[in-house]
Amino acid sequence: MLARLKHRLLAATAAAALIGGVVAVEAPSTARAAVPETIPLKLTNNSGRTEPVYIYTLGTLLTTGQQGWADASGAFHPWPAGGVPPVPAPDASIPGPAAGQSTTIRIPKLSGRIYFSYGRKLDFRLATGGLVQPAVQNPSDPNRDILFNWSEYTLNDSGLWLNSTQVDMFSAPYAVGVQRSDGATVGTGHLKAGGYRGVFSALRAQPGGWGGLVQTRSDGTVLRALSPGHGLESGALPASVMDDYINRVWQKYAGSTLTVTPFADQPARKFYGRVSGGVMNFTDGTSAVVTSFAKPDADSVFGCHKLLDAPNDQVRGPISRTLCAGFNRSTLLTNPNQPDTSTAGFYQDAVTNHYARIIHDRMADGKAYAFAFDDVGHQESLVHDGAPRQAYLTLDPLD
């Protein structure tokens, strides 16, 4: 369902179930008993905008794999059959709060997204394979001129995972939160004052095509900035945008070793990378080659896929996600021991993921999901609790 969002692995000894891009970890049965079938989600509209707001809870039932939507009470409704070409989906919108107001809905045990849009309802379609998500990198997408955004969530027997995400685009700002079982409330996702407009201004000021990621409506309204992967698709960014850095990494590790320690709780488990014949081979402690990577391109780096594919295993996936983070943050040349978790060294090379750099710089707590494996080193904008009392989604000002 979440085609552009990559699975994220959790360095834990428990078996991890990767659901909808948000990591869910199996917990003891006592935790299962603590999580009801639905929990309240309080939506607060601090945007200052006067247009009506529409809310959608869309996702996949964890028990059956069935796709559908939830109404304001948290009741799940499966999608009807789709068609070719895709046919309009049933109206799954929920009226959102007016400016300065709050409303509370209930969200069920799903893996999916909570969408919100300003002024117009989103246009969802159903294909034979299920729901067609908005894809605003396509100029003909019916949602191209709508100001909207979404949060990812998974609610299951082990608790709630709720994030703010910029993996596909940076748009209408919002923050997420959870009231934990102990009554304390934690949140993330707020921008610094002036941060929303600041992201667009900084992208436009960055040479090399980065300003082309910004999309505006015909009336001049700024709608969003596409992620750099989508910028490559649309031609806003040149395909060679990361080549210089990638080439320098390959040259460095043709003559030295890159050490990857992907599991924080297993510091003795290391993998060693060396480039030979244009391929980076990784060996384990016995010197056996366990996986190899061809030199990636910018799309592989920004999307953490293709030549940097990360399967849900215990070797290639963890190494790949570490490489992906190192390339996006440009830390592979400055630190041969990865992952690098010292944020002071992130994005310091002239060739880097400037989209991620600019977004992180303008987040109030520095946390964001600006690329698929931005959780390496715990840089992600995510809240979690094993027995949540309530979730929160706050629509913030567009300033």
Spatial distance between the Cα atoms of 147 and 217, rounded to a whole number of angstroms: 9
pLDDT at 57 over 60: yes
**What pLDDT score was predicted for residue 14?**
26
At 92, list the tokens. Answer: 């799954």
Domains in the chain: boundaries:
16-192+363-395, 243-352
What's the CATH number of domain 16-192+363-395, 2.170.190.11, 1.20.1290.10, 2.60.110.10, 3.40.1360.10? Answer: 2.60.110.10
135 pLDDT higher than 90? yes
Q: Tell the burial category of 198 from Cβ atoms under 10 Å away from its Cβ (0-12, 13-18, 19+).
A: middle
Is pLDDT above 80 for 362?
yes
Q: What is the pLDDT of residue 25?
A: 38
Q: Do residues 163 and 383 make contact, with C-beta atoms less than 8 angstroms apart?
A: yes
Average pLDDT over residues 234-260: 97
Phi then psi dihedrals of residue 281, to 5 deg: -100, 135
Poorest-pLDDT segment among 2-6, 228-232, 366-370: 2-6
One DSSP character per residue, 92-154 reads --EE-PPTT-EEEEEEESEEEEEEEEESS----EEETTEEE---TTSTT-TTTTSEEEEEEEE
Mean pLDDT of 367-393: 97
Share of the chain above pLDDT 90, in %: 90
Are 255 and 248 spatial neighbours (Cβ–Cβ below 8 Å)?
A: no
Superfamily of the domain at 243-352: Beta-1,3-glucanase, C-terminal domain (3.30.920.50)
Residue 5 pLDDT greater than 50, yes or no: no
pLDDT at 295: 98
Where in the sequence numbering do the catalytic residues fall? 152, 168
- Cα end-to-end distance, the chain, whole Å: 32
Q: Is the pLDDT of residue 160 over 90?
A: yes
Residue range 198-205: mean pLDDT, rounded? 98
- Angle among Cα 248, 252, 253 to the nearest 5 degrees reads 120
Report residue 92's pLDDT band, with 50, 70 and 90 as the boundaries. very high
Q: How many residues does the chain have?
A: 399
